Structure 1
């Protein structure tokens, strides 16, 4: 299985967040990490920023930014639950740091 980030080049806010998420997911579930850089919709019709787990797009419930809960739902649907609690904690920490970085002047 693979965790994929479709990112703009150069990567910006959400692209960097999704890359951090993907690194944590790959580490917790021993998945291959695939970073795809593009400035428009990829061949598969996925526009950046996007996070995919085993080719399943993680859709943000709020319509704007992927949350740890969105990722948890996707992982659960793929039966990737063994390290889910530890992964969720890591993802929440990543999001918290990201939000702190974005609020700095």
Structure 2
């Protein structure tokens, strides 16, 4: 059984922490995975602190070095051996979350 999706977040969550939690909720819903939010004061984006999104123990890395995109998440899930065919519209659903985030926080 796969590990839960983990979000390392500051408390209260800021922009990227909120975005990553939204991604995780969608992943949990679409892929049937549990999710867990871990609050931390450690700031280490895409590492051992916030904001970070982990799948099967691997920290997903943004291709632009700043913020995870739908493509980054799908690539990370595929690299972790997850079968994305069970949710063919996953990428578009994650992209919609990303677009909403950019509109809200731009």
TM-score by length of 1: 0.89
Question: Are residues 93 and 38 of structure 1, via their aligned partners in 2, closer, same or farther at CA, if it must alter by over 3 Å?
Answer: same
Equivalent of 1:96, from 96, 99, 103?
Answer: 99
* 8 Å contact kept, 2:43–2:51: no
Matched with 1:60 is 62
Measure how far apart 1:86 and its partner are. Answer: 1.3
Deviations 1:37-91 (A, max 9, x none): 011169xx61100001111110011000011011010111223222343111110
How many residues are aligned here?
A: 101
Alignment pair present for 1:3 and 2:29: no
Unaligned ranges ≥5, structure 2: none
Find the residue that maps to 1:60 and give its secondary structure.
coil
Matched with 1:29 is 31
Matched with 1:70 is 72
* Poorly superposed stretches of 4+, deviation over 4 Å: none
Q: For 2:42 and 2:96, how far apart are their aligned partners in 1?
A: 29
Equivalent of 1:46, from 39, 45, 48?
Answer: 48
Aligned residues: CA RMSD: 1.6
